[in-house]
Chain A
C-alpha cells in the first residue's frame, strides 16, 4: 500500500513546511524553557562544585550564604580548623552588585576569597590567579571583562589578572573574585559621609564620651570603621572523614549552621529555585496545551479540506484504519517537522540567552516523545470527524 499521508504531505509541502515552522518555533520555546530550568539547576551545581568545599558554615538558623543573609566573625575559621576532621577552612563573602563595563552596567557576584583556599576559582582559562593582597580580580568570561581591564568596585579600581569559566551564582550572575579584605571593605564599610556622621554621633553620646575615659570614642570609631565580618566559612574535610559527622560537630559545639554539599544542593535547587521551577513548569504545561490545540486545529482543518476525498476513499473500499492511519501519520509528520525545527532553533538561540541554557539530550528525547504524544492526541478529533464521513456523500443527491 502506498503511504497516503506521505503523499499528501509531499503534495502540500508548502503548507506543511510553514505550519511545521510555526509549530517548531513553539516547540523551540518549550525546549528553551526546559533548558533554562536545567541551566538554573546546573548553575547551582556549578556554584557548589566550583567552591571546592565539603561544608558551608554559616550563621545559625539561616540558609546562607546563597539563599539567606549570613554574618560570621572572620576569625571563626581558626576555631573550626581546630576541630577534628577539618583539613582546611577559609572565609568567603558574596556580594551581588552592578559594575560598569564598556559604558554598561554588568551584574556580577563579587566573591571575596583567599587565593588557594576553598572558595577561590579552581581553574583559569587565561591569565593568572590573584597574587597581590589588594586590587586584583579574576573574572568569569561571561562578565565580558578582558585581561588587564580595570574595574571599579565601590571606591577602588581592580585589575583583571585572570579569567575563568562557568563560575556563576545560583541566579546565573557571573562571578568576580577579589581578595577577601577588599571584599569585606566593599561589602561592609561605609562611605566618608557616613563615617563622619557616625563619629559625630559617638562624640555627642554622653554615655560614651565621658570625661576621664580618653580614647574610648576613638576606639569605638575604629571598631566601627573596620570590618571583621564574612558570610560563610568554607570547610574541606580531611580524607576519610564523613562530612555529615564533621557538620554535626560544628552545629553542636560551635552553635553554627553547617551544610554538607547534598544539603546545600537541596537549599539551592529545591528551595532557592523552587518558585522559578514551578513557574517554568506551569509555562511548559501551557505551551504543551497550546501546541496540542494548534496541532489539533491544523490537522482538523486539513481534514475538513479532504472530506470529499475521504468519502471517495471509503466508497472505493478504504478501511477506517487506513484513513485514521493517514491522519495520524500526518499529525505525527507535522510533529516531526516541528520538533526538528524546534530543536534546531533552540540550539541556535541558546547562546544568546543572558543566562545559561542547558539543552540536555534526555530532555530532547522526552520532548520528542511528548510532541508525538500530543500530536497523536491532537489528531483524535480529526480522526473522529473523518471516520464519521458517510461514503454516500460522494454520491450526489
Chain B
C-alpha cells in the first residue's frame, strides 16, 4: 500500500540563536512527518525546543538549516522558498493557541472569516465559508454574537474554525487544551480529530496535558532539540 504524500515533512531542521560563544542550538536536527488527516502529539519538557519548532514550522522564525516540505512542496531549504513567510502563514498554515486569542472587536463569524478576508476573499464568500465551519464545529447558533459572550470551550471551537478557514494542509496547535477541564479538553481533541479527518488537515498538537497525551496515535518527544517518535503511542480516542 502506497502512503499518501505527507502534509508536512521536516528533515534535519536546526535552529541556532546568537553567534559565537553565546550561540545556543535550540533545534539540533529535527525529523518529523505528518500525513494528511493525522493528528500527532508533540511533548517535551520546558526549554526542549517545542516552541522553537512550532515557530519554525509556522514560518514566524527562520530555521538555520534543514528542510521543510509542506504538502509535497519544499517551503524551506537554506531560506524560505516563498519569499513572503506571511503569505505562507496566511494561505497554508492554521494556528490554534493555548488561549483562543480571538479578535475582541469582531463577531464570531468575522473572526472565522478574517484569514479569508486577509487572503482577498469577498466578504460574502468569506462569511459563507465561516458559517459552514461554525456549523461543522457546532457553534453556528453563536455566529453573530460578540466573542465575549462565548464560553471558553466555544471560543476554542471558534479558534479552530478560524485555523481551518483557509483549508490549510497543516494546523499548529499550541497547548490548545491547557485552560480546559478534562471533559472539555477531550472534547477539543475529538473536534481536532474530526476536523483533521473531515478536511484532510494534518494537526500538530504541542501539549503538556496528561489527559490528552494517550489520545494521540502518534506521539513525538522533543528533548535537547531533537525529536524521538514514541513507539508505544497509539491508543485510540474513545
Chain A residues within CB distance 8 Å of chain B: 1-2, 4, 7-8, 10-12, 308-309, 312-319, 322, 390-392, 394-397
- Tell me if B145 is interfacial: C-beta within 8 Å of chain A: no
**B110 in contact with A2 (CB, 8 Å):** yes
Q: Given A315-B95, A397-B50, A397-B54, A12–B87 Cβ distance below 8 Å?
A: no
Bound CA–CA A2/B117 (angstroms): 8
CB-based contact B118/A397 at 8 Å: no
Q: Is B60 on the interface with A (CB-CB < 8 A)?
A: yes
Given A395-B97, A396-B98, A396-B174: A316 and B104 interface contact (C-beta under 8 Å): no
Find out whether the CB atom of A316 lies under 8 angstroms from the CB atom of B95.
yes
**Seed contacts A11-B104, A394-B101; 10 additional CB < 8 Å A-B pairs:** A7-B106, A8-B105, A313-B103, A313-B114, A315-B89, A317-B89, A317-B91, A322-B118, A395-B55, A395-B95
Q: List, in ascending order, chain B residues with CB within 8 A of A8's CB.
A: 105
Query: What separation, in Å, do the CA atoms of A7 and B110 have in the docked complex?
Result: 11
Q: Are A316 and B97 in contact (CB under 8 A)?
A: no
Contact A317 B87 (CB under 8 A): yes
Q: Given A7-B105, A392-B61: A314 and B51 within 8 A (CB)?
A: no
Residue of A nearest to B52 (CB): A397
Is B235 located at the chain interface by the 8 A CB criterion?
no
Which secondary structure characterizes the binding site on chain A? helix
Instruction: Report A-chain residues with C-beta under 8 Å of the C-beta of B95.
Output: 315-316, 394-395
- Of chain B, the residue at the smallest CB distance from A308 is B101
Q: In the complex, what residue of chain B is closest to A316 when comparing beta carbons?
A: B115
Question: Which of A316, A391, A396 contacts B51, CB < 8 Å?
Answer: A396
Return chain B residues, CB-CB under 8 Å to A318.
118
The 7 closest A-B pairs by CB, nearest first: A317-B90, A397-B51, A11-B105, A392-B60, A8-B105, A7-B105, A312-B101
Give the docked Cα–Cα distance between A324 and B26 (Å): 33
Q: Check: B86 CB closer than 8 A to any chain A CB.
A: yes
Measured between alpha carbons, how far is A397 from B48 in the docked complex, in Å? 10
B83 vs chain A, min Cβ distance (A): 14
Which of B101, B105, B118 has a CB less than 8 Å from the CB of A12?
B105
Minimum CB distance partner of A390 in chain B: B60
Q: Is B150 an interface residue (CB 8 A)?
A: no
Q: How far is the CB of B42 from chain A (nearest CB, A)?
A: 12
Known contacts A395-B51, A395-B95; decide if A312 and B117 are in contact (CB<8 Å): no
Q: Which residues of B contact A1 (CB under 8 A)?
A: 117-118, 123
Assess whether B58 is interfacial by the CB under 8 Å rule. Answer: yes
Q: Inside 8 A of A2's CB, which chain B residues have their CB?
A: 106, 110, 114, 117, 123
What is the minimal beta-carbon distance from A12 to any residue of chain B, in angstroms?
Answer: 7
Tell me, yes or no, whether B175 is within 8 Å of chain A by CB: yes
Partner of A395, one of B58, B90, B114: B58
Within 8 A of A (CB), among B51-68: 51-52, 54-55, 58, 60-61
> Can you name 14 A-B residue pairings with CB atoms under 8 Å?
A4-B103, A4-B105, A10-B105, A309-B104, A313-B114, A316-B90, A316-B115, A317-B119, A394-B95, A395-B51, A395-B172, A395-B174, A396-B51, A396-B175
Find chain A residues with CB under 8 A from B104 CB. 11, 309
Interchain nearest-CB distance for B54 vs A (Å): 6
Contacts of B58 in A (CB 8 A): 315, 392, 395
Report A342 CB to chain B, min CB distance, Å. Answer: 26
Query: Which of A313, A314, A322, A392 interacts with B55 by CB under 8 Å?
Result: A392
Question: What is the bound-complex CA distance between A227 and B175, given in angstroms?
Answer: 100
Is B162 part of the binding interface, using a Cβ–Cβ cutoff of 8 Å?
yes
Minimal beta-carbon separation of B82 from chain A (angstroms): 12
How far is the CB of A215 from the nearest CB of chain B, in Å? Answer: 98
Inter-chain contacts of B50 with A (CB < 8 A): 397
Q: Which residues of A contact B60 (CB under 8 A)?
A: 315, 390-392, 395
Q: What separation, in Å, do the CA atoms of A2 and B111 have in the docked complex?
A: 11
Least CB distance from B227 to A in Å reads: 16
Residues of B within 8 A of A396 (CB): 51, 97-98, 174-175
Is A316's CB under 8 angstroms from B114's CB? yes
- Nearest neighbor of A313 in chain B, beta-carbon distance: B103
Residues of A within 8 A of B52 (CB): 397
Q: In the complex the two chains form, what is the Cα distance from A11 to B104 in whole Å?
A: 8
CB proximity of B103 to chain A, nearest CB, Å: 5
